[in-house]
Amino acid sequence: MSENNGNLKIGVVGGGSWGTALANLLAQQGWPIDLWVFEEEVKLQIRDNHENKVFLPGIHLSENLRPSNDLGKVVADKDFLLTVVPSHLVREMAGAIATHISPETVVVSASKGIENGTHLTMTGVLREMLPAASADRISVLSGPSFAREVAVNVPTVVTVAATEPEIARRVQHIFATPYFRVYTSDDPMGVELGGAVKNVIAIAAGIVDGLGLGLNTRAALITRGQTEIRRLGLVMGANPRTFTGLAGIGDLILTCTGDLSRNHTVGKKIGQGQTLKQILAEMRMVAEGVKTSQSVYNLARERGVEMPISTEVYKVLYNDVPPKEAVFRLMTRDLKEELDEK
Protein backbone atom coordinates (compact mmCIF):
# COMPACT_ATOMS: atom_id res chain seq x y z
CA MET A 1 0.00 0.00 0.00
CA SER A 2 1.70 3.20 -1.14
CA GLU A 3 1.07 6.52 0.61
CA ASN A 4 1.33 8.15 -2.81
CA ASN A 5 -1.57 6.10 -4.07
CA GLY A 6 -4.42 8.37 -5.10
CA ASN A 7 -6.85 5.60 -4.18
CA LEU A 8 -5.77 5.51 -0.53
CA LYS A 9 -8.86 4.98 1.62
CA ILE A 10 -8.98 7.03 4.82
CA GLY A 11 -11.72 7.32 7.43
CA VAL A 12 -11.99 9.76 10.33
CA VAL A 13 -14.23 9.04 13.31
CA GLY A 14 -15.19 12.21 15.15
CA GLY A 15 -16.50 15.51 13.80
CA GLY A 16 -15.56 17.85 16.63
CA SER A 17 -13.10 20.69 16.11
CA TRP A 18 -9.97 18.50 16.22
CA GLY A 19 -11.42 15.68 14.14
CA THR A 20 -12.68 18.12 11.52
CA ALA A 21 -9.35 19.97 11.38
CA LEU A 22 -7.37 16.75 10.89
CA ALA A 23 -9.83 15.36 8.36
CA ASN A 24 -9.61 18.60 6.42
CA LEU A 25 -5.80 18.51 6.57
CA LEU A 26 -5.87 15.11 4.88
CA ALA A 27 -8.61 16.11 2.43
CA GLN A 28 -6.57 19.13 1.30
CA GLN A 29 -3.90 16.70 0.11
CA GLY A 30 -6.32 15.30 -2.46
CA TRP A 31 -7.63 12.17 -0.76
CA PRO A 32 -11.38 11.64 -0.41
CA ILE A 33 -11.95 11.47 3.35
CA ASP A 34 -14.95 9.75 4.90
CA LEU A 35 -15.76 11.66 8.12
CA TRP A 36 -18.14 10.22 10.71
CA VAL A 37 -20.06 12.85 12.64
CA PHE A 38 -22.64 12.21 15.33
CA GLU A 39 -24.91 15.18 14.66
CA GLU A 40 -27.16 15.28 11.61
CA GLU A 41 -26.85 19.07 11.53
CA VAL A 42 -23.07 18.86 11.32
CA LYS A 43 -23.26 16.36 8.47
CA LEU A 44 -25.55 18.65 6.51
CA GLN A 45 -23.41 21.72 7.20
CA ILE A 46 -20.25 20.05 5.92
CA ARG A 47 -21.97 18.41 2.96
CA ASP A 48 -23.94 21.43 1.78
CA ASN A 49 -21.87 24.42 2.97
CA HIS A 50 -18.36 22.96 3.49
CA GLU A 51 -18.29 24.31 7.03
CA ASN A 52 -18.65 22.82 10.50
CA LYS A 53 -20.54 25.73 12.05
CA VAL A 54 -21.03 23.90 15.36
CA PHE A 55 -17.44 22.98 16.20
CA LEU A 56 -15.18 24.82 13.74
CA PRO A 57 -17.10 27.87 12.52
CA GLY A 58 -15.65 30.20 9.92
CA ILE A 59 -13.36 27.60 8.31
CA HIS A 60 -14.01 26.60 4.69
CA LEU A 61 -13.60 22.84 4.38
CA SER A 62 -12.32 20.83 1.43
CA GLU A 63 -14.82 19.37 -1.00
CA ASN A 64 -12.95 16.07 -0.55
CA LEU A 65 -14.59 15.71 2.89
CA ARG A 66 -17.49 13.25 2.79
CA PRO A 67 -19.48 13.52 6.04
CA SER A 68 -21.67 10.66 7.17
CA ASN A 69 -23.68 9.50 10.18
CA ASP A 70 -23.07 5.87 9.14
CA LEU A 71 -20.20 4.67 11.32
CA GLY A 72 -19.83 1.29 9.62
CA LYS A 73 -19.54 2.89 6.19
CA VAL A 74 -16.83 5.28 7.36
CA VAL A 75 -14.78 2.51 9.00
CA ALA A 76 -15.10 -0.40 6.57
CA ASP A 77 -12.34 -1.26 4.12
CA LYS A 78 -10.01 1.59 5.10
CA ASP A 79 -6.22 1.75 4.79
CA PHE A 80 -6.02 4.33 7.57
CA LEU A 81 -8.55 5.11 10.29
CA LEU A 82 -8.19 8.19 12.52
CA THR A 83 -10.19 8.17 15.77
CA VAL A 84 -10.89 11.59 17.30
CA VAL A 85 -13.76 11.25 19.76
CA PRO A 86 -13.74 12.45 23.40
CA SER A 87 -11.77 10.04 25.58
CA HIS A 88 -14.79 8.92 27.63
CA LEU A 89 -16.48 7.78 24.40
CA VAL A 90 -13.55 5.84 22.92
CA ARG A 91 -14.59 2.48 24.41
CA GLU A 92 -18.16 2.82 23.11
CA MET A 93 -16.92 3.94 19.70
CA ALA A 94 -14.40 1.11 19.47
CA GLY A 95 -17.08 -1.42 20.32
CA ALA A 96 -19.27 -0.05 17.56
CA ILE A 97 -16.55 -0.29 14.89
CA ALA A 98 -15.03 -3.60 15.99
CA THR A 99 -16.98 -5.69 13.46
CA HIS A 100 -16.28 -3.28 10.59
CA ILE A 101 -12.54 -2.72 10.87
CA SER A 102 -10.03 -4.66 8.78
CA PRO A 103 -6.92 -6.34 10.32
CA GLU A 104 -4.86 -4.43 7.75
CA THR A 105 -6.14 -1.01 8.79
CA VAL A 106 -3.66 1.36 10.43
CA VAL A 107 -5.44 3.02 13.36
CA VAL A 108 -4.35 6.47 14.51
CA SER A 109 -5.67 7.76 17.83
CA ALA A 110 -5.85 11.53 18.29
CA SER A 111 -7.94 11.46 21.48
CA LYS A 112 -6.25 12.60 24.69
CA GLY A 113 -7.18 11.11 28.02
CA ILE A 114 -6.91 8.27 30.53
CA GLU A 115 -10.01 6.15 30.96
CA ASN A 116 -11.76 6.33 34.32
CA GLY A 117 -11.80 3.00 36.14
CA THR A 118 -9.40 1.03 33.94
CA HIS A 119 -6.73 3.77 33.80
CA LEU A 120 -5.98 2.71 30.23
CA THR A 121 -4.68 5.17 27.68
CA MET A 122 -6.69 5.55 24.50
CA THR A 123 -4.55 3.11 22.50
CA GLY A 124 -4.90 0.71 25.41
CA VAL A 125 -8.68 0.90 25.07
CA LEU A 126 -8.45 0.44 21.30
CA ARG A 127 -6.24 -2.64 21.65
CA GLU A 128 -8.69 -4.15 24.10
CA MET A 129 -11.80 -3.38 22.06
CA LEU A 130 -10.51 -4.05 18.54
CA PRO A 131 -9.34 -7.67 18.56
CA ALA A 132 -9.54 -7.79 14.77
CA ALA A 133 -7.08 -4.91 14.46
CA SER A 134 -3.38 -5.71 14.68
CA ALA A 135 -1.96 -4.23 17.90
CA ASP A 136 1.22 -3.04 16.22
CA ARG A 137 -0.87 -1.07 13.70
CA ILE A 138 -2.37 1.15 16.41
CA SER A 139 -0.61 4.51 16.80
CA VAL A 140 -1.10 7.87 18.49
CA LEU A 141 -0.79 11.42 17.17
CA SER A 142 -0.15 14.20 19.69
CA GLY A 143 1.65 17.48 20.25
CA PRO A 144 1.04 21.23 20.61
CA SER A 145 -1.79 21.72 18.14
CA PHE A 146 -4.91 23.80 18.55
CA ALA A 147 -7.54 22.71 16.02
CA ARG A 148 -8.35 26.19 14.75
CA GLU A 149 -4.72 27.01 14.05
CA VAL A 150 -4.21 23.73 12.18
CA ALA A 151 -7.36 24.48 10.19
CA VAL A 152 -5.94 27.80 8.95
CA ASN A 153 -2.54 26.27 8.13
CA VAL A 154 -0.53 27.82 10.96
CA PRO A 155 2.83 25.96 11.02
CA THR A 156 2.37 23.14 13.53
CA VAL A 157 4.66 20.32 14.67
CA VAL A 158 3.48 17.07 16.26
CA THR A 159 4.61 13.51 16.97
CA VAL A 160 3.21 10.14 15.92
CA ALA A 161 4.14 7.16 18.08
CA ALA A 162 3.81 3.43 17.45
CA THR A 163 5.50 0.32 18.75
CA GLU A 164 6.28 -0.62 15.14
CA PRO A 165 8.58 2.04 13.58
CA GLU A 166 7.33 1.40 10.04
CA ILE A 167 3.75 2.16 11.10
CA ALA A 168 4.86 5.45 12.64
CA ARG A 169 6.70 6.37 9.44
CA ARG A 170 3.66 5.58 7.29
CA VAL A 171 1.43 7.78 9.42
CA GLN A 172 4.11 10.47 9.37
CA HIS A 173 4.10 10.62 5.59
CA ILE A 174 0.30 10.61 5.38
CA PHE A 175 -0.07 13.68 7.60
CA ALA A 176 3.03 15.69 6.72
CA THR A 177 2.53 18.93 4.79
CA PRO A 178 4.60 22.14 4.46
CA TYR A 179 2.60 23.53 7.41
CA PHE A 180 2.10 20.33 9.46
CA ARG A 181 5.42 18.70 10.35
CA VAL A 182 5.36 15.22 11.93
CA TYR A 183 8.10 13.50 13.91
CA THR A 184 8.06 9.80 14.86
CA SER A 185 8.46 8.08 18.22
CA ASP A 186 8.52 4.50 19.49
CA ASP A 187 7.01 5.53 22.86
CA PRO A 188 3.20 5.53 22.62
CA MET A 189 2.84 5.42 26.41
CA GLY A 190 4.92 8.55 26.92
CA VAL A 191 3.22 10.42 24.10
CA GLU A 192 -0.23 9.54 25.44
CA LEU A 193 0.56 10.35 29.07
CA GLY A 194 2.00 13.70 28.05
CA GLY A 195 -1.11 14.51 26.02
CA ALA A 196 -3.50 13.43 28.77
CA VAL A 197 -1.99 14.72 32.00
CA LYS A 198 -1.10 18.13 30.56
CA ASN A 199 -4.84 18.83 30.44
CA VAL A 200 -5.03 18.43 34.22
CA ILE A 201 -2.08 20.77 34.69
CA ALA A 202 -3.72 23.23 32.27
CA ILE A 203 -6.77 23.41 34.54
CA ALA A 204 -4.41 24.29 37.38
CA ALA A 205 -2.75 26.96 35.24
CA GLY A 206 -6.17 28.40 34.44
CA ILE A 207 -7.03 28.51 38.13
CA VAL A 208 -3.79 30.41 38.78
CA ASP A 209 -4.68 32.92 36.07
CA GLY A 210 -8.26 33.19 37.29
CA LEU A 211 -6.99 34.02 40.77
CA GLY A 212 -4.71 36.68 39.28
CA LEU A 213 -1.58 35.20 40.84
CA GLY A 214 0.84 36.29 38.14
CA LEU A 215 3.40 34.90 35.73
CA ASN A 216 5.85 33.71 38.39
CA THR A 217 3.21 31.37 39.76
CA ARG A 218 2.18 30.07 36.35
CA ALA A 219 5.77 29.38 35.28
CA ALA A 220 6.43 27.47 38.50
CA LEU A 221 3.23 25.48 38.11
CA ILE A 222 4.05 24.46 34.54
CA THR A 223 7.54 23.38 35.59
CA ARG A 224 6.41 21.35 38.56
CA GLY A 225 3.54 19.96 36.51
CA GLN A 226 6.08 18.65 34.05
CA THR A 227 7.80 16.90 36.96
CA GLU A 228 4.55 15.17 37.89
CA ILE A 229 3.96 13.97 34.32
CA ARG A 230 7.51 12.59 34.18
CA ARG A 231 7.10 10.79 37.52
CA LEU A 232 3.96 9.04 36.34
CA GLY A 233 5.55 8.25 33.01
CA LEU A 234 8.52 6.53 34.64
CA VAL A 235 6.36 4.11 36.63
CA MET A 236 4.22 3.44 33.53
CA GLY A 237 7.25 2.45 31.48
CA ALA A 238 7.54 5.55 29.30
CA ASN A 239 10.79 7.01 28.01
CA PRO A 240 11.54 10.10 30.17
CA ARG A 241 12.98 11.89 27.12
CA THR A 242 9.51 11.93 25.58
CA PHE A 243 8.41 14.48 28.17
CA THR A 244 11.04 16.96 26.99
CA GLY A 245 9.59 16.79 23.47
CA LEU A 246 6.54 17.92 21.54
CA ALA A 247 4.01 15.63 23.24
CA GLY A 248 5.49 16.57 26.63
CA ILE A 249 6.68 20.08 27.38
CA GLY A 250 5.51 21.38 23.99
CA ASP A 251 1.87 20.43 24.48
CA LEU A 252 2.02 21.38 28.17
CA ILE A 253 3.16 24.95 27.45
CA LEU A 254 0.55 25.43 24.74
CA THR A 255 -2.36 24.14 26.79
CA CYS A 256 -1.35 26.01 29.95
CA THR A 257 -0.94 29.38 28.24
CA GLY A 258 -3.09 29.48 25.10
CA ASP A 259 -6.42 31.28 24.99
CA LEU A 260 -7.82 28.51 22.77
CA SER A 261 -7.30 25.89 25.50
CA ARG A 262 -10.63 24.60 26.83
CA ASN A 263 -8.94 23.14 29.91
CA HIS A 264 -7.23 26.42 30.76
CA THR A 265 -10.59 28.16 30.26
CA VAL A 266 -12.30 25.80 32.74
CA GLY A 267 -9.60 26.45 35.32
CA LYS A 268 -9.70 30.21 34.82
CA LYS A 269 -13.45 30.32 35.36
CA ILE A 270 -13.09 28.25 38.52
CA GLY A 271 -10.42 30.65 39.75
CA GLN A 272 -12.85 33.50 39.07
CA GLY A 273 -15.51 31.87 41.25
CA GLN A 274 -17.71 29.81 38.94
CA THR A 275 -18.64 26.23 39.80
CA LEU A 276 -17.68 23.29 37.63
CA LYS A 277 -21.36 22.52 37.05
CA GLN A 278 -21.99 26.05 35.78
CA ILE A 279 -18.97 25.94 33.47
CA LEU A 280 -19.76 22.56 31.91
CA ALA A 281 -23.38 23.55 31.34
CA GLU A 282 -22.16 26.38 29.10
CA MET A 283 -19.72 24.24 27.07
CA ARG A 284 -20.62 22.13 24.05
CA MET A 285 -17.06 20.94 23.45
CA VAL A 286 -15.25 18.70 25.93
CA ALA A 287 -12.49 19.80 28.29
CA GLU A 288 -10.68 16.46 28.63
CA GLY A 289 -8.85 17.38 31.83
CA VAL A 290 -12.05 17.36 33.87
CA LYS A 291 -12.57 13.60 33.56
CA THR A 292 -8.85 12.81 33.23
CA SER A 293 -8.20 14.44 36.61
CA GLN A 294 -10.16 11.59 38.21
CA SER A 295 -8.06 8.98 36.43
CA VAL A 296 -4.78 10.70 37.24
CA TYR A 297 -5.69 11.12 40.90
CA ASN A 298 -6.63 7.46 41.30
CA LEU A 299 -3.78 6.15 39.16
CA ALA A 300 -1.22 8.16 41.13
CA ARG A 301 -2.54 6.75 44.40
CA GLU A 302 -2.61 3.23 42.97
CA ARG A 303 1.00 3.47 41.74
CA GLY A 304 2.33 5.46 44.70
CA VAL A 305 3.32 8.46 42.57
CA GLU A 306 3.56 11.88 44.20
CA MET A 307 1.47 14.30 42.10
CA PRO A 308 0.45 17.17 44.38
CA ILE A 309 -0.75 19.59 41.69
CA SER A 310 -2.91 16.95 40.02
CA THR A 311 -4.26 15.95 43.44
CA GLU A 312 -5.28 19.51 44.26
CA VAL A 313 -6.96 19.92 40.86
CA TYR A 314 -9.01 16.79 41.57
CA LYS A 315 -10.00 18.10 45.00
CA VAL A 316 -10.99 21.51 43.64
CA LEU A 317 -13.12 19.91 40.91
CA TYR A 318 -14.72 17.10 42.89
CA ASN A 319 -14.34 17.86 46.61
CA ASP A 320 -15.20 21.57 46.39
CA VAL A 321 -11.87 22.64 47.86
CA PRO A 322 -11.52 26.44 47.43
CA PRO A 323 -8.81 27.27 44.85
CA LYS A 324 -6.95 29.60 47.25
CA GLU A 325 -6.80 26.81 49.84
CA ALA A 326 -5.36 24.44 47.23
CA VAL A 327 -2.65 26.96 46.34
CA PHE A 328 -1.81 27.47 50.03
CA ARG A 329 -1.45 23.72 50.56
CA LEU A 330 0.89 23.43 47.59
CA MET A 331 3.04 26.31 48.78
CA THR A 332 3.32 25.03 52.36
CA ARG A 333 4.21 21.40 51.67
CA ASP A 334 7.35 20.00 53.29
CA LEU A 335 10.49 21.59 51.86
CA LYS A 336 12.70 19.31 49.74
CA GLU A 337 15.27 19.09 46.97
CA GLU A 338 14.07 20.07 43.52
CA LEU A 339 15.28 17.16 41.40
CA ASP A 340 13.99 13.61 41.71
CA GLU A 341 16.52 10.79 41.92
CA LYS A 342 15.74 9.60 38.38
- Is 198 one of the catalytic residues? yes
Question: Residue 181, SS3?
Answer: strand
**Number of helical (H) and strand (E) elements in the chain, helices listed first:** 15, 8
What is the rounded distance in angstroms from the CA atom of residue 289 to the CA atom of residue 202?
Answer: 8
Cβ atoms of 194 and 247 within 8 Å: the answer is: yes
- CA distances in angstroms from 259 to 118, 149, 234, 250, 267, listed in the order given: 32, 12, 30, 16, 12
Strands (E), the chain: 10-13, 33-36, 65-68, 80-83, 106-109, 138-142, 156-161, 180-185
Catalytic one of 198, 268, 269, 291: 198
Rg (CA), the chain: 20
Q: Are strands 65-68 and 80-83 parallel, antiparallel or unpaired?
A: unpaired
What is the rounded distance in angstroms from the CA atom of residue 54 to the CA atom of residue 161?
Answer: 30
CA 263 to chain centre: 11
Question: Residue 279, SS3?
Answer: helix
Enzyme catalytic residues: 198
